[in-house]
Amino acid sequence: MSLFDSLSSQPQQPMNPMQRLQALKQNPSNVLQQAGFNVPQGMNNPQQIIQHLIQSGQVPQNRYTQVLQMLGRR
């Protein structure tokens, strides 16, 4: 299930993609927790969050590499 799928299943006011992106930018750990990921509260540095998700096994390294390739960043 994707981040946006997880968030859309939450019983809250529907958000359009731009609102979700803004919420992710403002408080990434909270948005990811709502999507079912275990991210320490207050961890808002994107690199720290990515490292935490990979090291804790919540996101496989190969999946992260695939996303980077899709975004054209590798």
The H-or-E segment that residue 64 falls in is: helix 61-70
pLDDT value of position 50: 93
pTM metric for this prediction: 0.68
pLDDT value of position 30: 86
Domain count, the chain: 1
Q: What is the pLDDT of residues 10-45, one digit of tens each?
A: 555 667 888 888 988 888 888 898 889 999 988 889
% of residues, the chain, pLDDT over 90: 35
Q: Give the structural domain span for 32.
A: 3-70
Burial of 32 per CB tally in 10 Å (0-12, 13-18, 19+): buried
pLDDT value of position 51: 95
* In the predicted structure, residue 72 carries a pLDDT above the cut 70: yes
